[in-house]
Structure formats: C-alpha cells, structure tokens
Amino acid sequence: MTVSSPRPGTSTPSAPSPTIDLDALRGEITGRVIGPNDDDYESARQVMFGGIDRHPAVVVRVATVDDIRRVIELARETGLELAIRSGGHSARGDSTTEGGIELDLHDMTAIDIDPRAKTAWAEAGNTALAVTQAVTERGLAIGFGDTGSVGIGGITLGGGVGYLGRKHGLTIDSLLAADIVTADGELRRADADTNPDLFWALRGGGGNFGVVTRFQYRLADLPGIVGGMLVLPATAETVERFIALSDEAPEELGTIANVMPCPPMPFVDEAWHGKLVIFGLLCWAGDAASGAKALQPFRDLAKVGGLDAPIADLVHPGAFTEMYPPEDPDYHPLAVSLTGFLDRVDRTTAETIMTRLESLDAPMRAVQLRVLGGAIARVPDDATAYAHRASKIMVNVAAFYEGEQDRPQKMAWVRELLGAILQSDRGAYVNFLGDEGEARIRAAYPGATYDRLAEIKRRYDPENLFRLNQNIAPA
C-alpha cells in the first residue's frame, strides 16, 4: 500500500511525492503504523491547538529505539518532512506535518524511579502529569509547567518554566542525562561527562538535535504543597501589587497571574462573569503553616480591590498533582499569542495592561505574568542553551479568535499590547514562540548562544533533518 495522493483540502504538489509502502513498514516496526485509511488516523494526526489541519503521509507510534532509527532512516530515504511528537502542544503545529512523516512517541511511557538516589528515568512519550503522579507518590517532584497534558519532551528541551522554578530551577536544571537518537541513527548518551556539548544544547535548544528517547531527572523532596486558584478583582493597583508580592515572597512560592475576563465558572458569582479579574494560580512548595502565612497577603488583595474576600479561593494544602487542572481532550482552542520578558510591572505597566484588555471585545483575552528569579537566576546564562537567567518576569499576551477572517485583528491587538509594555529585556522563551520568524528565534537564543547551537547542529544534524521546530540551521 502506498500514499501518494493528497487528502481533501490540501493542494496538489507540483511534483509527485515519494511513496511509502505502509505494509512493508508495518513489518519493520514494533510499534504502530497508522495510515490515512486507518480508523485512528484522524485522532492520531490531531494536535492540541485548533486551526492546525495537517495530514501526514504516515504516523508511526514508535515503541523502541530501533523503531526510531527506522523512521529516521525512512525520512532520509524519502526526503519527506519529519515531525517529532511528544505531547502535541506546539503552537506552530510542529508535532505534525502535511504529507510528511510523523514520529509519535506517545507509546513510550516507561518510568523508572530510584527513590533512594532521588532520580528517575522517564521515556519521552510521558506527559508532565504522568511523571508527576509517579514521583509524587514517593514524596518527590520535578518542576515541569502548568499543564498536565504537555509532553515531557517538548517542555524539557525548551527549558521548562513552572511552579517550582524559583525553588528548584527550570526543568533542565533537574536534568541529569538524556538518551538521544541523532540524524545518523546513532543512540547517544548526553550528560555532563558524555557528549557534554550535546547535553548543553539539549537544555533549552529544543528538538533541533535528534529524537530524545528518555530523560533522567534529579528529584526534589516535596511531600505536599499549599496551592490552587485565587480569583481577585483586577485593577491597576491589584495587578501591580500581585506581581510585587510574588517577587518579594520566599522562593518556595510560584505564581501565575492571568489578567483576563472571568469565565462562567460555577463557583464564581455570576456578577463577575465576563469582568476583568486576576485569575491567580499559586503553589507553595513547603509546609502548610508557612504556606498559609506567605499566601495571606495575596488574599488581602481583595480588600485593595474593594472586596471583603477574594472572589473565589480554592487554595488549600494538597498534592502537587492538584496544580494540574482537569483537561478536556476535545478542547482545541483557536488562539494567537506572543511572549516576552518584562523588567517590572509598575503602575504604568499595569494601567496599560488594563486599558488594552478593556479595549477588546473578544470573550477571551489575557495577559499572563510569571515572576521568575530565585534558583532560575542562580545558573549562569551560558551554562545551558536557555539564556534568560536574569529575566525578571515572563509575559504572554493571548486572544482567542473565531475564524481565519478574525485572526488578523486579534493578532494585531496581541502585538500592539505586547509592544506597549515591553521594556529593556527583548528576549523570548522558545517554548512559547509561534511562527514568528528568524529574528524571534534569535531572541530566544541571543548572541553566542545561537552561534554555539548552530555549531553543535552542524556536528549532529548537518543536513537539518530535524527542522520542524524553532529551527537552528547548521553553521
């Protein structure tokens, strides 16, 4: 069986595409080979974000390192585009491809924990939630992000900004080693002593260097947290103060402030639905008594906003896994967003955020603010490919759109708002970049960082086989 004709809704190529004998491939692969005529093809090609409608010639759900080698070889033989999928959360849709080969790590989910050494090996098909659940049962933790369904491959290789960052650093700061199949089909170990150049590049350089099969992490003690959702009235004063409190708090506290219209949540009074609020997510990585003391000033912000108590207060002692809210697998939002870093959120910045949010009538628009620092900032900029250690606050501006005709207007609003609040820090976090061009990739990898990555790319992937990513061309 071969795949050569385009599916409905795709353009006909100017030259015949290489064909793949799916029956022959099934005889060579231990995992699953999914073609356009298979029942699970539609679900296999679907990614997290809406508006991405691509049709790979084949989806290979690999099960072994040899499967990965064979898929890489197939991409080289055919010249077809190769997409690597861990969790499918790429904002650009890099987890899939139109007419190419999708290598899906979904079924590689082994986890091997050594509780005495406080380390864990996890295969790259795992989600952040799956690994967190496994290690939390032993009173341990790894800092991933804020979404449980994200694949550990993408978040780790891009850096990993999450709730535990101020206390324990980025995800890559807990990374001890990785096993990776490079473009030549070789399985390599990358750690501080073996292929240290590759290990440096994998800690923030994204999927440019091969297919990571598994990661080894150092685990932190974390028997419990105090955390959850706190909804507060949004004013310029409360936004400014929320960020100041987050910056002043002990490093055990990680926060995310989403300034946005309040969704119609059943536990929020209807009078607040659609009004601008601070949708705060807070996580105290320490004992409950200290957590209650550290979190009280955030609750008191309700009074600054003219209320006796928060609009909603779901903050409580619990397990770290509770910081990952339930997700609807059928939810595929149409959204545009841009990311950057801020030096500060003073009253002027907060007023600009509020004014711009009020200027748009989209039912969902948001400015997300994450205070960094702490353990993240104690690592030298050149120690890893993530080169924004001194950045103070991460900002993401986003808006939902209702169709392609609506997208340009929402994108223009996002761009104008971000431009109005950016200050001296012009960097970018690679995991939150969309399809924004070469200049933005270089903002993620400034100066010498990009040059070093390009040289390592030349050594391990000189033909740029792994190019469906925020791509670094070989030097």
Fold classification of 111-221+447-460 (topology level): 3.30.465
Q: State how far Cα 473 lies from the chain centre.
A: 22
Residue 13 has pLDDT above 80, yes or no: no
User: pLDDT at position 361, please?
Assistant: 87
The enclosing H or E element of 227 equals: strand 225-233
Q: Give this prediction's pTM.
A: 0.94
pLDDT in tens, 216-271: 999 999 989 999 999 999 999 999 999 999 999 999 999 999 999 999 999 999 99
What type of residue sits at position 54?
Answer: R
Quick check: helix, strand or coil at residue 221?
strand
For 225-432, give the CATH class: alpha beta
User: pLDDT at position 9, please?
Assistant: 35
d(CA 388, CA 413): 26
What six digits make up the tokens of 197? Answer: 């150049």
Query: β-strand 312-313 against 225-233: which pairing, if any?
Result: antiparallel
Nearby residues of 266 by Cβ (< 8 Å), 6 or more positions away: none
Query: β-strand 119-123 against 111-114: which pairing, if any?
Result: antiparallel
pLDDT in tens, 81-99: 999 999 999 989 999 999 9
44 phi/psi in degrees, rounded to 5: -70, -30
Q: Are 82 and 468 in contact (CB under 8 A)?
A: yes
d(CA 468, CA 470): 7
What six digits make up the tokens of 396? Answer: 């993401």
Residue 356 has pLDDT above 80, yes or no: yes
- Select from 64, 62, 98 the least CA-distant residue to 80: 98
Fold classification of 22-104 (topology level): 3.30.43
Segments making up each domain of the chain, as ranges: 22-104, 111-221+447-460, 225-432
Q: How many CB atoms lie within 10 A of CB 348?
A: 12
What six digits make up the tokens of 360? Answer: 């748009």
User: pLDDT at position 379, please?
Assistant: 98
d(CA 330, CA 349): 36
What is the chain's percent helix, strand, coil content, to nearest 5? 30, 20, 45
